[in-house]
Amino acid sequence: MKKILFTGGGSAGHVTANLALIPHFRQEGWSIEYIGSVGGIERKLIEELPEVHYWPIATGKLRRYLDWNNVKDPFKVVGGLLQAYRIIRKQKPNVVFSKGGFVSVPVVIGAWLNRVPVLIHESDITPGLANRIAAPFASGICTTFPETSKAIAPGKSRYIGPVIRNELMQGRAERGRELCSFRRDKPILLIMGGSLGARRINEAVRKQLSPLTSRFQIIHLCGKGGVEPKLESGHYRQFEYVSDELPHLLAAADMVISRAGSNSIFEFLALRKPMLLIPLTKGQSRGDQLLNAESFRSMGYAEVLPEEELTPDSLLEQTMNVYGNRHFYAERMSEFDPGNGIKQIYDWLTEIMK
Protein backbone atom coordinates (compact mmCIF):
# COMPACT_ATOMS: atom_id res chain seq x y z
CA MET A 1 0.00 0.00 0.00
CA LYS A 2 1.29 3.47 -0.90
CA LYS A 3 1.72 5.78 2.08
CA ILE A 4 1.72 9.59 2.29
CA LEU A 5 2.57 11.74 5.27
CA PHE A 6 1.03 15.21 5.54
CA THR A 7 2.19 18.09 7.69
CA GLY A 8 1.20 21.71 8.28
CA GLY A 9 -0.41 23.71 11.05
CA GLY A 10 -0.50 26.65 13.37
CA SER A 11 -3.61 28.10 11.75
CA ALA A 12 -6.54 26.73 9.76
CA GLY A 13 -4.96 28.18 6.60
CA HIS A 14 -2.05 25.76 7.01
CA VAL A 15 -4.42 22.80 7.11
CA THR A 16 -7.04 23.62 4.46
CA ALA A 17 -5.18 22.21 1.46
CA ASN A 18 -4.43 19.02 3.40
CA LEU A 19 -8.12 18.65 4.25
CA ALA A 20 -8.91 18.96 0.54
CA LEU A 21 -6.28 16.39 -0.51
CA ILE A 22 -6.71 13.71 2.16
CA PRO A 23 -10.10 12.38 0.92
CA HIS A 24 -8.68 12.00 -2.60
CA PHE A 25 -5.71 9.95 -1.36
CA ARG A 26 -7.98 7.87 0.87
CA GLN A 27 -10.24 7.17 -2.12
CA GLU A 28 -7.19 6.06 -4.13
CA GLY A 29 -6.29 3.57 -1.41
CA TRP A 30 -3.31 5.29 0.19
CA SER A 31 -2.35 4.90 3.85
CA ILE A 32 -2.29 8.36 5.46
CA GLU A 33 -0.21 9.73 8.34
CA TYR A 34 -0.10 13.30 9.68
CA ILE A 35 2.51 15.07 11.78
CA GLY A 36 1.37 18.23 13.56
CA SER A 37 1.82 20.12 16.80
CA VAL A 38 0.63 19.00 20.22
CA GLY A 39 -1.93 21.76 20.77
CA GLY A 40 -2.46 23.43 17.39
CA ILE A 41 -5.75 23.73 15.54
CA GLU A 42 -4.54 21.10 13.07
CA ARG A 43 -4.79 18.40 15.74
CA LYS A 44 -8.49 19.03 16.29
CA LEU A 45 -9.22 19.18 12.55
CA ILE A 46 -7.21 16.10 11.58
CA GLU A 47 -8.12 13.80 14.47
CA GLU A 48 -11.77 14.08 13.40
CA LEU A 49 -10.92 12.40 10.07
CA PRO A 50 -11.31 8.64 9.65
CA GLU A 51 -8.31 6.46 8.78
CA VAL A 52 -5.72 9.20 9.42
CA HIS A 53 -3.13 8.68 12.16
CA TYR A 54 -2.02 11.89 13.87
CA TRP A 55 1.49 12.18 15.32
CA PRO A 56 2.05 15.20 17.63
CA ILE A 57 5.58 16.62 17.92
CA ALA A 58 7.25 19.46 19.83
CA THR A 59 7.25 22.78 17.98
CA GLY A 60 8.91 26.15 18.32
CA LYS A 61 7.52 29.27 16.70
CA LEU A 62 9.64 31.01 14.05
CA ARG A 63 9.57 34.71 14.96
CA ARG A 64 10.80 37.79 13.12
CA TYR A 65 10.85 39.88 16.31
CA LEU A 66 12.67 39.89 19.66
CA ASP A 67 11.08 37.61 22.24
CA TRP A 68 12.45 35.62 25.19
CA ASN A 69 10.89 32.51 23.68
CA ASN A 70 13.41 32.82 20.84
CA VAL A 71 15.99 31.51 23.31
CA LYS A 72 14.18 28.29 24.20
CA ASP A 73 12.21 27.60 21.01
CA PRO A 74 15.25 26.42 18.99
CA PHE A 75 15.54 23.54 21.46
CA LYS A 76 11.88 22.69 20.77
CA VAL A 77 12.60 22.73 17.04
CA VAL A 78 15.52 20.33 17.52
CA GLY A 79 13.35 18.09 19.68
CA GLY A 80 10.61 18.17 17.03
CA LEU A 81 13.16 17.32 14.35
CA LEU A 82 14.29 14.24 16.26
CA GLN A 83 10.69 13.15 16.77
CA ALA A 84 9.79 13.72 13.12
CA TYR A 85 12.91 11.87 11.95
CA ARG A 86 12.03 8.83 14.05
CA ILE A 87 8.37 8.81 13.00
CA ILE A 88 9.28 9.03 9.32
CA ARG A 89 11.99 6.36 9.67
CA LYS A 90 9.47 4.02 11.31
CA GLN A 91 6.45 4.77 9.10
CA LYS A 92 8.42 4.81 5.84
CA PRO A 93 6.08 7.02 3.77
CA ASN A 94 6.60 7.11 0.01
CA VAL A 95 6.25 10.88 -0.02
CA VAL A 96 5.60 13.88 2.26
CA PHE A 97 3.30 16.81 1.52
CA SER A 98 3.85 19.99 3.53
CA LYS A 99 1.37 22.86 3.76
CA GLY A 100 3.68 25.05 5.82
CA GLY A 101 3.54 26.63 9.24
CA PHE A 102 6.26 26.33 11.87
CA VAL A 103 5.49 22.67 12.62
CA SER A 104 6.36 21.69 9.04
CA VAL A 105 10.06 22.67 9.16
CA PRO A 106 11.30 19.75 11.32
CA VAL A 107 9.08 17.37 9.34
CA VAL A 108 10.49 18.44 5.96
CA ILE A 109 14.07 18.21 7.23
CA GLY A 110 13.32 14.87 8.89
CA ALA A 111 11.98 13.55 5.58
CA TRP A 112 15.08 14.81 3.74
CA LEU A 113 17.32 13.03 6.26
CA ASN A 114 15.34 9.84 5.60
CA ARG A 115 15.59 10.41 1.83
CA VAL A 116 11.84 10.72 1.47
CA PRO A 117 10.80 13.20 -1.26
CA VAL A 118 8.82 16.26 -0.14
CA LEU A 119 6.41 18.52 -1.98
CA ILE A 120 5.65 21.91 -0.39
CA HIS A 121 2.52 23.96 -0.99
CA GLU A 122 2.69 27.78 -0.86
CA SER A 123 -0.65 29.59 -0.81
CA ASP A 124 0.49 33.20 -0.81
CA ILE A 125 2.18 35.40 -3.40
CA THR A 126 5.44 35.39 -1.43
CA PRO A 127 6.66 32.30 0.47
CA GLY A 128 6.32 32.31 4.23
CA LEU A 129 9.33 31.98 6.54
CA ALA A 130 8.72 28.30 7.27
CA ASN A 131 8.51 27.42 3.58
CA ARG A 132 11.60 29.49 2.78
CA ILE A 133 13.57 27.53 5.39
CA ALA A 134 12.16 24.19 4.21
CA ALA A 135 12.45 24.82 0.44
CA PRO A 136 16.08 23.62 0.00
CA PHE A 137 15.07 20.22 1.44
CA ALA A 138 12.07 19.76 -0.89
CA SER A 139 11.76 18.25 -4.35
CA GLY A 140 9.32 20.93 -5.47
CA ILE A 141 6.98 23.75 -4.46
CA CYS A 142 3.36 24.10 -5.62
CA THR A 143 2.22 27.70 -6.02
CA THR A 144 -1.27 29.19 -5.93
CA PHE A 145 -0.32 32.50 -7.56
CA PRO A 146 1.71 32.38 -10.80
CA GLU A 147 3.91 35.28 -9.66
CA THR A 148 5.19 33.28 -6.65
CA SER A 149 7.73 31.52 -8.88
CA LYS A 150 9.78 34.76 -8.97
CA ALA A 151 10.73 34.22 -5.31
CA ILE A 152 11.69 30.55 -5.72
CA ALA A 153 14.79 28.92 -7.22
CA PRO A 154 14.34 28.38 -10.99
CA GLY A 155 12.90 25.02 -11.96
CA LYS A 156 11.72 24.13 -8.46
CA SER A 157 8.18 25.52 -8.51
CA ARG A 158 5.07 24.66 -10.47
CA TYR A 159 1.93 26.81 -10.69
CA ILE A 160 -1.06 24.62 -9.85
CA GLY A 161 -3.64 27.25 -8.81
CA PRO A 162 -5.92 26.99 -5.79
CA VAL A 163 -6.76 23.79 -3.96
CA ILE A 164 -10.54 23.85 -3.43
CA ARG A 165 -12.23 21.40 -1.08
CA ASN A 166 -14.79 19.34 -2.99
CA GLU A 167 -17.34 19.54 -0.18
CA LEU A 168 -17.25 23.33 -0.38
CA MET A 169 -18.80 23.17 -3.83
CA GLN A 170 -21.64 20.99 -2.55
CA GLY A 171 -23.17 23.45 -0.09
CA ARG A 172 -26.93 24.04 -0.23
CA ALA A 173 -28.20 27.58 0.25
CA GLU A 174 -31.51 26.38 1.68
CA ARG A 175 -29.67 24.36 4.33
CA GLY A 176 -27.54 27.41 5.18
CA ARG A 177 -30.66 29.51 5.73
CA GLU A 178 -32.19 26.77 7.87
CA LEU A 179 -29.09 26.68 10.10
CA CYS A 180 -29.61 30.37 10.85
CA SER A 181 -33.43 30.50 10.64
CA PHE A 182 -33.07 33.12 7.90
CA ARG A 183 -35.60 34.19 5.29
CA ARG A 184 -35.21 33.62 1.58
CA ASP A 185 -36.18 37.16 0.52
CA LYS A 186 -33.44 39.15 2.31
CA PRO A 187 -29.73 39.09 1.27
CA ILE A 188 -27.19 37.38 3.53
CA LEU A 189 -23.83 38.87 4.52
CA LEU A 190 -21.20 36.46 5.85
CA ILE A 191 -18.41 37.93 7.97
CA MET A 192 -15.32 35.96 8.97
CA GLY A 193 -12.00 37.05 10.47
CA GLY A 194 -10.00 33.85 10.18
CA SER A 195 -9.87 30.84 12.50
CA LEU A 196 -8.94 33.03 15.49
CA GLY A 197 -11.42 35.80 14.70
CA ALA A 198 -10.71 39.50 14.22
CA ARG A 199 -11.47 41.80 17.14
CA ARG A 200 -11.42 45.08 15.18
CA ILE A 201 -13.72 43.73 12.48
CA ASN A 202 -16.07 42.34 15.13
CA GLU A 203 -16.21 45.71 16.90
CA ALA A 204 -16.83 47.69 13.70
CA VAL A 205 -19.61 45.31 12.62
CA ARG A 206 -21.38 45.48 15.97
CA LYS A 207 -21.31 49.28 16.05
CA GLN A 208 -23.21 49.23 12.74
CA LEU A 209 -25.57 46.35 13.48
CA SER A 210 -28.72 48.43 13.14
CA PRO A 211 -28.07 49.77 9.59
CA LEU A 212 -26.47 46.48 8.48
CA THR A 213 -29.33 44.29 9.68
CA SER A 214 -31.84 46.64 8.11
CA ARG A 215 -30.33 45.64 4.75
CA PHE A 216 -28.86 42.17 5.41
CA GLN A 217 -29.23 39.03 7.41
CA ILE A 218 -25.77 38.49 8.93
CA ILE A 219 -23.77 35.33 9.63
CA HIS A 220 -20.84 36.35 11.82
CA LEU A 221 -17.93 33.93 12.43
CA CYS A 222 -16.42 35.68 15.45
CA GLY A 223 -13.54 33.43 16.55
CA LYS A 224 -13.02 31.76 19.91
CA GLY A 225 -14.61 33.74 22.73
CA GLY A 226 -15.96 36.34 20.31
CA VAL A 227 -19.69 35.62 20.53
CA GLU A 228 -21.86 38.19 22.33
CA PRO A 229 -25.16 36.39 23.06
CA LYS A 230 -27.05 39.58 23.96
CA LEU A 231 -26.70 40.78 20.34
CA GLU A 232 -28.26 37.68 18.79
CA SER A 233 -31.40 38.33 16.78
CA GLY A 234 -33.46 36.98 13.93
CA HIS A 235 -31.20 38.87 11.51
CA TYR A 236 -27.84 38.33 13.24
CA ARG A 237 -26.38 34.88 13.95
CA GLN A 238 -22.97 34.36 15.58
CA PHE A 239 -20.64 31.35 15.59
CA GLU A 240 -17.17 30.98 17.07
CA TYR A 241 -16.09 28.62 14.33
CA VAL A 242 -17.84 26.32 11.86
CA SER A 243 -16.67 23.25 9.96
CA ASP A 244 -19.26 20.97 8.36
CA GLU A 245 -21.75 23.85 8.20
CA LEU A 246 -19.45 26.19 6.25
CA PRO A 247 -20.32 24.96 2.71
CA HIS A 248 -24.02 25.59 3.37
CA LEU A 249 -23.46 28.99 4.99
CA LEU A 250 -21.29 30.09 2.05
CA ALA A 251 -23.85 28.82 -0.46
CA ALA A 252 -26.47 30.98 1.26
CA ALA A 253 -24.28 34.11 1.39
CA ASP A 254 -24.71 36.89 -1.16
CA MET A 255 -21.51 38.66 -0.08
CA VAL A 256 -18.50 38.07 2.19
CA ILE A 257 -16.41 40.30 4.45
CA SER A 258 -13.13 38.59 5.28
CA ARG A 259 -9.44 38.76 5.99
CA ALA A 260 -7.33 38.00 2.93
CA GLY A 261 -5.84 34.59 3.62
CA SER A 262 -5.17 32.90 0.29
CA ASN A 263 -7.09 29.68 0.90
CA SER A 264 -10.27 31.47 1.94
CA ILE A 265 -10.34 34.10 -0.78
CA PHE A 266 -9.75 31.53 -3.53
CA GLU A 267 -12.65 29.53 -2.14
CA PHE A 268 -14.86 32.62 -2.27
CA LEU A 269 -13.65 33.21 -5.83
CA ALA A 270 -14.51 29.65 -6.86
CA LEU A 271 -17.99 30.17 -5.36
CA ARG A 272 -18.36 33.60 -7.08
CA LYS A 273 -18.94 35.49 -3.83
CA PRO A 274 -18.36 39.27 -3.99
CA MET A 275 -15.81 40.19 -1.31
CA LEU A 276 -14.79 43.07 0.90
CA LEU A 277 -11.30 42.16 2.10
CA ILE A 278 -9.71 43.61 5.25
CA PRO A 279 -6.15 42.20 5.18
CA LEU A 280 -3.89 41.88 8.18
CA THR A 281 -1.43 44.76 8.39
CA LYS A 282 2.36 44.37 8.17
CA GLY A 283 2.46 44.93 11.91
CA GLN A 284 0.27 41.86 12.41
CA SER A 285 1.86 39.64 9.75
CA ARG A 286 4.60 39.51 7.12
CA GLY A 287 2.40 41.43 4.68
CA ASP A 288 1.20 38.45 2.62
CA GLN A 289 -2.48 39.30 3.02
CA LEU A 290 -1.87 42.82 1.69
CA LEU A 291 -0.40 41.33 -1.49
CA ASN A 292 -3.19 38.76 -1.80
CA ALA A 293 -5.86 41.42 -1.40
CA GLU A 294 -4.27 43.80 -3.89
CA SER A 295 -4.00 41.01 -6.45
CA PHE A 296 -7.71 40.27 -6.10
CA ARG A 297 -8.61 43.96 -6.24
CA SER A 298 -6.60 44.46 -9.42
CA MET A 299 -8.39 41.51 -11.06
CA GLY A 300 -11.81 42.94 -10.16
CA TYR A 301 -12.66 40.12 -7.75
CA ALA A 302 -12.89 42.18 -4.57
CA GLU A 303 -12.71 45.57 -2.89
CA VAL A 304 -10.10 46.22 -0.20
CA LEU A 305 -10.50 48.15 3.05
CA PRO A 306 -7.10 48.59 4.77
CA GLU A 307 -7.32 47.98 8.50
CA GLU A 308 -5.75 51.40 9.14
CA GLU A 309 -8.85 52.90 7.48
CA LEU A 310 -11.32 50.56 9.17
CA THR A 311 -14.01 52.40 11.13
CA PRO A 312 -17.68 51.55 11.65
CA ASP A 313 -18.57 54.16 9.02
CA SER A 314 -16.02 53.00 6.41
CA LEU A 315 -17.09 49.40 6.94
CA LEU A 316 -20.73 50.26 6.31
CA GLU A 317 -19.90 52.42 3.28
CA GLN A 318 -17.67 49.82 1.63
CA THR A 319 -20.08 46.99 2.38
CA MET A 320 -22.89 48.82 0.63
CA ASN A 321 -20.54 49.71 -2.24
CA VAL A 322 -19.52 46.10 -2.86
CA TYR A 323 -23.07 44.82 -2.59
CA GLY A 324 -24.30 47.53 -4.93
CA ASN A 325 -21.70 46.43 -7.49
CA ARG A 326 -22.11 42.71 -6.85
CA HIS A 327 -23.01 41.91 -10.45
CA PHE A 328 -19.74 43.46 -11.68
CA TYR A 329 -17.69 41.32 -9.27
CA ALA A 330 -19.66 38.19 -10.13
CA GLU A 331 -19.05 38.76 -13.84
CA ARG A 332 -15.32 39.20 -13.36
CA MET A 333 -15.12 36.12 -11.13
CA SER A 334 -17.00 34.03 -13.72
CA GLU A 335 -13.98 34.45 -16.02
CA PHE A 336 -11.69 32.68 -13.54
CA ASP A 337 -10.99 28.98 -14.11
CA PRO A 338 -9.90 27.34 -10.83
CA GLY A 339 -8.55 24.30 -12.67
CA ASN A 340 -7.96 21.08 -10.75
CA GLY A 341 -5.26 21.71 -8.17
CA ILE A 342 -5.98 18.45 -6.34
CA LYS A 343 -5.27 16.35 -9.45
CA GLN A 344 -2.14 18.33 -10.31
CA ILE A 345 -0.71 17.85 -6.81
CA TYR A 346 -1.63 14.16 -6.84
CA ASP A 347 0.10 13.68 -10.18
CA TRP A 348 3.23 15.50 -9.04
CA LEU A 349 3.42 13.54 -5.77
CA THR A 350 3.17 10.22 -7.60
CA GLU A 351 5.83 11.48 -10.00
CA ILE A 352 8.42 12.18 -7.26
CA MET A 353 7.63 9.45 -4.72
CA LYS A 354 10.22 6.84 -4.00
Separation between Cα atoms, residue 147 and residue 270, nearest integer Å = 19
DSSP per-residue string spanning 288-342: HHHHHHHHHHHTTSEEE--GGG--HHHHHHHHHHHHHTHHHHHHHHHT-----HH
- What confidence tens digit (pLDDT) does each residue in 160-189 have? 999 999 999 999 999 999 999 999 999 999
The whole-number pLDDT of residue 155 equals 87
CATH number for 3-164+339-352: choose from 3.30.70.260, 3.30.420.10, 3.60.21.10, 3.40.50.2000: 3.40.50.2000
User: Sheet containing 31-37: which strands, arranged edge to edge?
Assistant: 52-57, 31-37, 3-7, 95-98, 118-122, 140-143, 157-159
Domain(s) labelled CATH 3.40.50.2000 in the chain stretch across 3-164+339-352, 167-334
> What dotted CATH number matches 167-334?
3.40.50.2000
Instruction: Name residues whose C-beta falls within 8 Å of residue 50's C-beta, 6 or more positions apart in sequence.
Output: 26
* Residues of the chain where predicted confidence (pLDDT) is lower than 50: 65-66
The whole-number pLDDT of residue 301 equals 97
The whole-number pLDDT of residue 70 equals 55
Q: What is the pTM of this model?
A: 0.88
